[in-house]
Amino acid sequence: MKRLSHLDAKGRVRMVDVSAKSVTAREAVARGRVRMTAATLRLLRAGRGPKGDVLTTAHLAGVLGAKRTGELIPLAHPLALDGVEMAFAFATRPSAVTIEARVRTTGRTGVEMEALTAVAIAGLTLIDMLKAVDRTLELTDVALWEKRGGRSGEWRRESRTPLARAVTRPRSSR
């Protein structure tokens, strides 16, 4: 088994020292989905959420989540982010909103956790803003889909998974 980088020689948890790593351009894409009833999806598509502009609020929450990842995930490095893009797509079978976050930085460590956090926080915000009309809301399928940069180079998730079929071109909430 590969040695875990967040453990020292004695098995204690530690923050990885990245000071010897090269500064490179890095990017990560994460996706997730919020499932809901068909009636809730119709309400969302019509822009009639009970708490106001749901997608814009979720968009902003996702960006904020990415920026705050170093504060939320104990061993994540606080990073200066160069860009965070959020996109949302509607699906009707099953009724859902798919969320995509694309995060970029130039640094010594990747932005995978920032992309995942952006999706999770945007999804939780959708749930918070729609829970008054739908108690069945579920945040599901949060996963890393792509990463670029650093020593390990490029990685992509296989496109044969259900979420890949659900999202072809997410659209920005703006």
d(CA 71, CA 41): 33
With b for 16 or more beta-carbon neighbours within 10 A and e for fewer, the 121-144 pattern comes to bbbbbbbebbeebbeebebebbeb
96: part of which helix (H) or strand (E)? strand 95-107
Q: What are phi and psi of 88, to 5 degrees?
A: -130, 140
DSSP for 101-114, please give it.
Answer: EEEEEEESS--HHH
Element (H, E) at 138: strand 138-148
- Tell me: cis bond preceding 94? Omega within 30 of 0 counts: yes
Q: Which residues does 6 contact at the CB level (< 8 Å), separation at least 6?
A: 13, 14, 15, 16, 75
The active-site residue out of 82, 128, 134, 141 is 128
Catalytic annotation present for 128: yes
Q: Give me the active site residues, please.
A: 128
